[in-house]
Structure 1
Amino acid sequence: MRHLFRSATLLVVSLTLNGPAALAEETETTRNAYAAGYLANFTCSAVFNASKDWAAIQRDELTGIYPLIAEPVAQLEPEINHDEKWVRVAYDDGAHTRLSVWRPRLGCVDLPVGATLASIELLDQPFPHTEVSHQDDGTPWQTNTNALSAAQHQALQQVVDQAFSKHYGSGARTSAVLIANTETILTERYAEGFTPTTAQRTWSVAKSIGASVIGVAVQQGRITVDEPAALENWSHPLDPRGAITLEHLLHMASGLDSNRAGNRTDRVYMGGGLVSDTATEAALEVAPGSRWKYANNDTMLALRVLRERFTDTNDYLRFPYTELLDKIGMQHTFLETDWQGDFILSSQVWTTARDLARLGLLHLQNGRWNDEQILPANWLDYISTPAPAQPATTSPGYGAQWWLYNERFPELPNDTIAARGNRGQFLVLIPSKNLIIVRRGYDVAGEPGFNEHDFSRDVLKALEATQSQ
């Protein structure tokens, strides 16, 4: 794997989930580098993954964001090269720049501090040049105008109306809602300016996509969940991290130090850092499997484990596309990487409501698609089984990179699971009801976001309506 050069060391901020920084330790230069990296990446991805214009990017991607970088982001302006598909942002009065580059299928990659336009040619290019498609015919769902009774339709539309208001959270800003079963899309609505092919960032819903990629590898016999992670960086016989298994990582139970808030990995997300020199460097804090702690690093490490089972980087980069996304029609999904080719599947995925629903459909079909077993037949059971170590009882439970709405939440069926992400991204699956619920949004940081539990509960109530009612 070719290297650009080692990025500057950047400090990581501690932040509570979806909340403001508790202890911001960054220097002004580091914060400015983060802000420029954030602006470069989100502008690049929104333009070239989602075909959004600058006004829409300012409205959606750059408002309601992390307080840490909100102010400096507002003071910066991106340089967008539509022909060569890159975005550059100068900061510190032009002394430094950040650069984000689009690649076919892979979306945008953030180059490290100090990278120049000449660095672009050093990036891996595993796919030929392709344009982003503006078509989605709704395959494999069939149009069925009789799928709902009149009463169900009316009740469901009232719930969807509420989803596009502040009913489910004062900070909620809904961009898309899709509700489907295995046969048909029951209802689908988009905010103005959005269509079925408008991709947006999944944030931590990406973790469940990452688990699905792992599931494909398990089905193909490339890897097993109970085997040691066996990362090269942990290979010394004295290294206690050798006891960490892939399953520990999937369960958010690695035992690794991930600072006060494991959901904040700013150096990778905004700083041009690498998975290989951040996540793999964390020290063991408690025994693997003994503690549940939400940590982006655990997800990135799980995919790093799979990567190290490949001998060729481009083979690895193509694997999620050829073996999962392309097979189920997720053609508007971009799995973004760091500049050394590690997928950032803890957050950095851009996709559409329909593509997320397709992933849900694959799970409701027990991993089978067009007579091919893509995921293990028991994968839905596996990801829905509570991990040995669990979050606090006030939170949903946790399986393998999916949240569990089991007996803790009596208003939903016990088999309800969800992929959940920042700013109100949700993919909810209720197998016993044959139901897929997708909500996308741009919820405002620091305000109550969209409540997916209440929305899912109300969707179920609407579908229970009868013609006589």
Structure 2
Amino acid sequence: MRKSALFNRLAVLPLALISVFAQAAEETEATLNAYAAGYVAGFTCSATFNGNKNAEQIREHELGGIYPLIAERVEQLTAEVNQQHKWVRVKYDNGARERISVWRPKLGCVDLPVGATLEAERHLANPFATSPTPAPDSGAPWQLDETPLTEAQQQALAAVVEQAFSKHYGAGARTSAVIVATPEHLLAERYLEGFTPETAQRTWSVAKSIGASVIGAAAYQRLLEVSEPAALANWSHPADPRAAITLENLLHMASGLDSNQAGNRTDRVYMGGGLVSDTATETALEVTPGERWKYANNDTMLALRTLRERFATLDDYLRFPFVALLDKIGMQHTYLETDWQGDFILSSQVWTTARDLARLGVLHLNNGVWHGEQLLPEDWLAYISSEAPAQPPTGSPGYGAQWWLYNERFPELPDDTIAARGNRGQFLVIIPSRNLIVVRRGYDFAGQAGFNEHDFTRDVLRALATKTAQ
């Protein structure tokens, strides 16, 4: 096999860890119906009120090409959208039951549990109730009217971006946004028709890297130390071996906890109205913490739960990511969603724009400094980019602290390349040695070859190395 073909295959393999769903324990018909209704309610709510999308866009992008587990059921459901009070309701089981999702400023939509009615809305935490509507994206910190690229580089890069909006990088690829940037310039920016710099969409597992950044901000403020035990109240019994799990174990995907066959299947939290505290904190150890790498949504949710238990009040916890990080770097169109008891679901449920993701990349390239203010530890980029003691199997990128590592396993990219990667083709790639950020957003089809970010990033680098006109 030729080397280029081999590495093309290797670059695609890790997506199986994120977006291919292994056979899970069989759910009842009642549960599957509730999941489907919750999926429609939650995604319709978030896409409407976070992303300002219309019903046609939602049906095509958010509800099309999705999980086989519920895809056919989703097609049969209709959402009732209340624009005035910002909630969505989906009736199912011939109208006998309903699922409801309610929007809150900055916190996006929260899915109420099965059996809950709109009366439950008044019991939800809402610390940003008086927050103003986000202003149009200003384009800061970039110099939008300038480019350092030569005409030949611009033409070569434009050709690569054009390919990103085709099937060139994957038969199931469906691109919605692309940004190539340095801290000073947007080198390329393009959107699917109907999308703008203010159009938020779900990050899926890119949220994990955002969550790690929130942990970094907390570490900088000395609210916690990554080397310390997570010390969750639920694990406080003297006989509980889970007391040995450190925050670092969680960041490394090495908790040792049972997360079923596929650790990326957390359907009960993602679309069933379940709680982080009823699922992630209840699982038992399978192996010694730190011994095994296993991609698990629960590890990310537990890392953020660790931070929550450092705060005296829920409102203080909910404000922290915005006050300490997101608002400071201009991520004004980013929504961190929670379960109905206020735990961030930062393993997946963040809605944000391509530019806001690029801003997070800029912060990391600047070693945690924004406009002269240190927001993350100075060595945070080095920390998240360092290989965890336990690593994914050969053929996958390596793993740091909630970031994927394109190290020497992938010789067509610089060894310091790291990436936040999510289902349906969400990518934030950071290359410190090139001072470069690459963002790709999409709605890739489940069950088909998704967007190959490795090849796209490689082609971007080649375009930027262009010396003369083609």
What's the TM-score bracket when you normalise by the shorter of the two chains?
over 0.9
1:8-407 superposed matches below 5 A? 17-130=18-131, 132-133=133-134, 135-407=136-408
- In structure 2, stretches of 5+ residues that fail to align are 1-15
Counterpart amino acid of 2:412?
Answer: E
| Aligned-pair CA distance for 1:256 | 0.2
- In structure 1, stretches of 5+ residues that fail to align are 1-14
Q: Tell me how far apart the structure 2 counterparts of residues 379 and 426 of structure 1 sit (CA, whole Å).
A: 20
| Aligned-pair CA distance for 1:18 | 2.0
Q: Tell me how far apart the structure 1 counterparts of residues 469 and 195 of structure 2 sit (CA, whole Å).
A: 35
1:409-424 superposed matches below 5 A? 409-424=410-425
Count of residues in correspondence between the two structures: 455
SS of residue matched to 2:455: helix
- The percentage of counterpart residues that share the same residue type is 72
Asked whether the equivalents of residues 21 and 67 of structure 1 are also in contact (C-alpha less than 8 Å), the reply is no
Counterpart amino acid of 2:119?
Answer: A
Q: Tell me how far apart the structure 2 counterparts of residues 195 and 131 of structure 1 sit (CA, whole Å).
A: 20
Asked whether the equivalents of residues 160 and 177 of structure 1 are also in contact (C-alpha less than 8 Å), the reply is yes
Q: Tell me how far apart the structure 2 counterparts of residues 170 and 280 of structure 1 sit (CA, whole Å).
A: 38
Q: Tell me how far apart the structure 1 counterparts of residues 307 and 147 of structure 2 sit (CA, whole Å).
A: 44
| Aligned-pair CA distance for 1:468 | 5.6
| Aligned-pair CA distance for 1:371 | 1.0
SS of residue matched to 2:19: coil
SS of residue matched to 1:459: helix
Supply the RMSD in Å over aligned alpha carbons. 1.1
Counterpart amino acid of 2:303?
Answer: A
SS of residue matched to 1:412: coil
Asked whether the equivalents of residues 47 and 53 of structure 1 are also in contact (C-alpha less than 8 Å), the reply is yes
Q: Tell me how far apart the structure 2 counterparts of residues 468 and 26 of structure 1 sit (CA, whole Å).
A: 58
Asked whether the equivalents of residues 78 and 90 of structure 2 are also in contact (C-alpha less than 8 Å), the reply is yes
SS of residue matched to 1:31: helix
Asked whether the equivalents of residues 147 and 186 of structure 2 are also in contact (C-alpha less than 8 Å), the reply is no
Q: Tell me how far apart the structure 2 counterparts of residues 126 and 64 of structure 1 sit (CA, whole Å).
A: 35
Matched with 1:445 is 446
| Aligned-pair CA distance for 1:241 | 0.3
Asked whether the equivalents of residues 104 and 129 of structure 2 are also in contact (C-alpha less than 8 Å), the reply is no
SS of residue matched to 1:158: helix
| Aligned-pair CA distance for 1:172 | 0.1
Asked whether the equivalents of residues 22 and 262 of structure 2 are also in contact (C-alpha less than 8 Å), the reply is no
Matched with 1:464 is 465
Counterpart amino acid of 1:345?
Answer: L
SS of residue matched to 1:328: coil
| Aligned-pair CA distance for 1:393 | 1.1
Counterpart amino acid of 2:110?
Answer: V
Q: Deviations over 1:268-327 (max 9, x none)?
A: 000000001100001000000000000000000000000000010000000000110000
Distance 1:16-1:178 versus aligned 2 partners, 3 A rule: closer
Q: Tell me how far apart the structure 1 counterparts of residues 27 and 235 of structure 2 sit (CA, whole Å).
A: 28
SS of residue matched to 1:386: coil
Asked whether the equivalents of residues 21 and 262 of structure 2 are also in contact (C-alpha less than 8 Å), the reply is no
Counterpart amino acid of 2:158?
Answer: Q
Distance 1:58-1:150 versus aligned 2 partners, 3 A rule: same
Counterpart amino acid of 2:244?
Answer: A
Q: Tell me how far apart the structure 2 counterparts of residues 330 and 240 of structure 1 sit (CA, whole Å).
A: 39
SS of residue matched to 2:377: coil
Q: Deviations over 1:164-218 (max 9, x none)?
A: 0000000000000000001110010000010000000000000000000000000
| Aligned-pair CA distance for 1:353 | 0.2
Q: Tell me how far apart the structure 2 counterparts of residues 37 and 419 of structure 1 sit (CA, whole Å).
A: 26
Q: Tell me how far apart the structure 1 counterparts of residues 34 and 154 of structure 2 sit (CA, whole Å).
A: 49
| Aligned-pair CA distance for 1:94 | 1.0
TM-score by length of 2: 0.95
TM-score by length of 1: 0.96
Counterpart amino acid of 2:305?
Answer: R
Q: Deviations over 1:42-76 (max 9, x none)?
A: 00000000111101100100000000010111101
Asked whether the equivalents of residues 134 and 197 of structure 1 are also in contact (C-alpha less than 8 Å), the reply is no
Q: Tell me how far apart the structure 2 counterparts of residues 121 and 293 of structure 1 sit (CA, whole Å).
A: 38
Counterpart amino acid of 2:60?
Answer: R
Counterpart amino acid of 2:293?
Answer: W
Counterpart amino acid of 2:284?
Answer: A
SS of residue matched to 2:23: strand
Asked whether the equivalents of residues 215 and 375 of structure 1 are also in contact (C-alpha less than 8 Å), the reply is yes
Q: Tell me how far apart the structure 2 counterparts of residues 41 and 132 of structure 1 sit (CA, whole Å).
A: 21
Asked whether the equivalents of residues 99 and 110 of structure 1 are also in contact (C-alpha less than 8 Å), the reply is yes
SS of residue matched to 2:441: strand
Asked whether the equivalents of residues 300 and 346 of structure 1 are also in contact (C-alpha less than 8 Å), the reply is yes
| Aligned-pair CA distance for 1:137 | 1.5
Counterpart amino acid of 1:287?
Answer: T
Q: Deviations over 1:7-48 (max 9, x none)?
A: xxxxxxxx9742255245000000000000000000000000
Deviates more, 1:401-410 or 1:124-133: 124-133
Q: Which runs of 4+ in 1 moved over 4 A?
A: none
Asked whether the equivalents of residues 20 and 446 of structure 1 are also in contact (C-alpha less than 8 Å), the reply is no
